[in-house]
Amino acid sequence: MTAIKTEAQDVLRLTNISKSFGATKANSDINFALKKGEVIALLGENGAGKTTLMNILFGHYTPDTGTVEAFGQMLPPGKPGAALAAGIGMVHQHFTLADNLTVEENILLGTEPLWKLGLGRAAARARIVQLSQDFGLAVHLAAKVGLLSVGERQRVEILKALYRDARVLILDEPTAVLTPQETDALFVTLRKAVALGLSVIFISHKLHEVMAIASRVLVLRHGRLVGEVAVADTDKHALAEMMVGAEVAPPEIAAAQIGAPILSLRAVSVVSQGTKGGLQDIDLQLKSGQITGLAGVSGNGQAALADLLSGLIVPDQGEVEIDGRAIAQWSPRIALSNGIARIPEDRHKTGAIADFTLTENVILESFKSAQFSRRGWMNKAEADRFARHVIDTYDVRCPGPATPIRLLSGGNMQKLILGRALEPGPKVILANQPVRGLDIGAVTYVQSRLIAARDAGAAVLLISEDLDEIMGLSDVIHVISEGRLSPGFARGSKSATELGIWMAGHGFAEDAA
């Protein structure tokens, strides 16, 4: 009798959620409900408010207004345990597993008092095995988590949530670290979960995945819920428009005037370190007047390549050549003095010193030059003048050069870093995820500056996980997969699907398997 009622029941309902941080409205007046046996996608650019919303749901933040209801019960705000106890499980983008414990121990950790962990294992193990069969999550229970691949770790995280009787699974950017095959396997698991009556919130900014797995899509922009559509009634184009607020125009780009190779990697190998993938026998030429795009799923060696070109690591094998001469010594300073400009992936951790002023940050790579210091004494006036020049030229919105950079928005911080990198007139520009997390205005600005630098004769290497960005900007595209580099494909010669096959690791010469 009650079956119909149960079926229509909302397992999760968020009502009028608002949250501000200072002047920033991270979430304003968000309402949505999740039904039993449904996958909804939460779509939005970085900074759109997805993470804040999930933190409110999990009680890490107290909302300014609004309520969270799970299975008909109101969740007390600001109580981190409540959502878990109500059967909501979250798989974070950055896993929360103990590397030195086994899979089984990781799953059990926190479910039993520590002194009982050793007891009653057989029953617990049987349940884990049952769950892994039901949901298609193959893992080796006795393996140490530290030795597992990223995909396997994610399966452990999901099992962990399921073992805690999660009825709602929230996955935060789950595919960012997965290969396409692992992504497919994850989708199989999610479909099984839904068939078994679970509900899933899938957070992503990858449109094709959202289209593939979700039944409904919620689009967040600048903290507001700007759209709620059934996947059947929409397409990628419309979603993209909703996400960024306007038709995404590919940047204007003229035909490339390709010149001589400036920087070459010859048979370069880098041993992988920890979770950072290495490089296997890579040959790459960066040519003057050309944007070289590096496509690939993150964690396939992009970090090693970026570190190498930044001067942070030296190749274990092979050579780096600049203007045809092999480099004998290699460090960030030497890279800089050879005209390599770097825009690092993480502007907060690597690109800037948060508590330094704009002036101090803008001279970070050049403070020892004759322009900014003499015999060890800083020339503050000249540094300030340079900072003002960069602020004006690169449209950095800020109160002034004496402002600590941490007070700037991501886009303005990135513009300052861009100015710092481009002002010396570099020969090579390494742009690692240069527009990640920026609003659309800053994205266009940064991209047009990179194009201008390329037109002025710089060799640009663009590393991005966003295939659309790569395809829009690059004159030649290489795909990186498990540390191997594909041949260069000229602009327009390969479709996204064809590049995707390379990204999945197929097509490489030494691919025997």
Distance CA 134, CA 128 (A): 10
Sheet containing 317-322: order of strands: 279-287, 261-270, 317-322, 325-326
Least distance CB 214 / another protein (angstroms): 32
Encoded amino acid at 275, one letter: T
CB atoms within 10 A of CB 277: 23
Selected range binding another protein among 129-137, 191-199, 332-340, 439-447, rule: CB under 8 A? 332-340
Regarding 333 and contact with another protein (CB under 8 A), the answer is: yes
Pairing of strands 484-485, 39-43: unpaired
Q: Residue 277 or 351: which CB sits closer to another protein?
A: 351
Task: Restricting to residues 457-486, name those near another protein by CB under 8 A.
Answer: none
Regarding 495 and contact with another protein (CB under 8 A), the answer is: no
Q: Residue 376 or 492: which CB sits closer to another protein?
A: 376
Encoded amino acid at 359, one letter: T
Burial 77-92 (b: 16+ CB within 10 A, else e): eeeeebbbebbbbbbe
Distance CA 84, CA 90 (A): 9
**Given candidates 377, 381, 510, 512, which one binds another protein under the rule CB under 8 A?**
377
Least distance CB 319 / another protein (angstroms): 21
User: Does residue 39 contact residue 190 with C-beta atoms inside 8 Å?
Assistant: yes
Task: Restricting to residues 312-331, name those near another protein by CB under 8 A.
Answer: 312, 331
Q: Judged by CB under 8 A, how many residues of this single chain contact another protein?
A: 34
**Given candidates 277, 289, 344, 426, which one binds another protein under the rule CB under 8 A?**
344
**Given candidates 311, 411, 426, 505, which one binds another protein under the rule CB under 8 A?**
311
Regarding 332 and contact with another protein (CB under 8 A), the answer is: yes
Question: Positive or negative CA dihedral for 383, 389, 394, 398?
Answer: positive
Selected range binding another protein among 65-73, 77-85, 180-188, 321-329, rule: CB under 8 A? 77-85
**Given candidates 9, 149, 350, 444, which one binds another protein under the rule CB under 8 A?**
350
**Given candidates 16, 31, 62, 73, which one binds another protein under the rule CB under 8 A?**
62
Selected range binding another protein among 66-74, 188-196, 296-304, 375-383, rule: CB under 8 A? 375-383
Task: Restricting to residues 11-30, name those near another protein by CB under 8 A.
Answer: 22
**Given candidates 72, 78, 259, 487, which one binds another protein under the rule CB under 8 A?**
78
Dihedral pair phi/psi, residue 116, rounded to 5°: -100, 0
- DSSP line for 203-234: EES-HHHHHHH-SEEEEEETTEEEEEEEGGG-
- DSSP line for 30-42: EEEEEETT-EEEE
Distance CA 369, CA 107 (A): 54
Least distance CB 343 / another protein (angstroms): 11
**Given candidates 119, 126, 260, 364, which one binds another protein under the rule CB under 8 A?**
364
Regarding 352 and contact with another protein (CB under 8 A), the answer is: yes
Regarding 384 and contact with another protein (CB under 8 A), the answer is: no
Least distance CB 472 / another protein (angstroms): 27
Task: Restricting to residues 191-210, name those near another protein by CB under 8 A.
Answer: none
Selected range binding another protein among 221-229, 239-247, 317-325, 350-358, rule: CB under 8 A? 350-358
Binding mask 386-415 for another protein (x = CB under 8 A): ---------------------x--------
**Given candidates 20, 67, 149, 373, which one binds another protein under the rule CB under 8 A?**
373
Structure tokens at 234: 């929409």
Distance CA 145, CA 143 (A): 6
Selected range binding another protein among 37-45, 128-136, 222-230, 365-373, rule: CB under 8 A? 365-373
Regarding 368 and contact with another protein (CB under 8 A), the answer is: yes
Distance CA 114, CA 274 (A): 29
**Given candidates 71, 187, 330, 356, which one binds another protein under the rule CB under 8 A?**
356
Least distance CB 435 / another protein (angstroms): 19
At 386, is the secondary structure helix, strand, or coil?
A: helix
- DSSP line for 388-412: HHHHHHTT--SS-TTSBGGGS-HHH
Selected range binding another protein among 11-19, 91-99, 359-367, 471-479, rule: CB under 8 A? 359-367
Q: Residue 220: beta bridge partners?
A: 225
Least distance CB 367 / another protein (angstroms): 6
- Angle at 236 (CA atoms; ends 230, 238), nearest 5 degrees: 75
From residue 504, how far is each of 456, 474, 509 by CA, in Å?
35, 20, 14
**Given candidates 208, 349, 397, 506, which one binds another protein under the rule CB under 8 A?**
349
Structure tokens at 435: 């527009």
Query: Strand locations in 324-402, DSSP E?
Result: 325-326, 340-343, 373-374, 377-378
Regarding 73 and contact with another protein (CB under 8 A), the answer is: no
Binding site for another protein (CB under 8 A): 22, 62, 77-79, 310-312, 331-333, 335-336, 342, 344, 349-356, 360, 364-365, 367-368, 373, 376-378, 380, 407
